Amino acid sequence: QVQLTESGGGLVQPGGSLRLSCAASGNIFSIISMAWFRQAPGKRRELVARTSGGTTNYADSVKGRFTISRDDIKRTASLQMNSLKPEDTAVYYCHATVKVLTMDSWDYWGQGTQVTVSS
């Protein structure tokens, strides 16, 4: 079994910054990709940023403001969010595609962390 534990959400004023962190633990052989998704009330979950094999990609709405990083030794991923806007308000979910000890690959989700951007 693999667990993803998120931290770092909270309330921030427009223009402010937050950093989200996600730590993977459990029966991990290797991590193929890590990503952050978000879901605002009444909207579907959307990809925010992903890192895989040294490549990163971002949603157009966050390009230039958000940065995803990954530490393969610590098995963590972070999302640095700058110049936050009210429309960034959502529950943010960590996602990982993991090769487990049986050599199968599975997708895992964190429990979600609330980010609220409001004055």
Q: What is the DSSP letter of 83?
A: S
Length in residues, the chain: 119
What pLDDT shows up at residue 4?
97
DSSP tag of 61: G
Q: pLDDT tens for the chain, 119 residues: list them.
A: 899 999 999 999 999 999 999 999 999 999 999 999 999 999 999 999 999 988 999 999 999 999 999 999 999 999 999 999 999 999 999 999 999 988 899 999 999 999 999 99
Beta strand spans in the chain (E) = 2-7, 10-12, 18-26, 28-39, 46-52, 55-58, 66-71, 76-81, 90-100, 105-109, 113-117
Q: How far apart are the C-alpha atoms of 73 and 59, rounded to whole Å?
A: 26
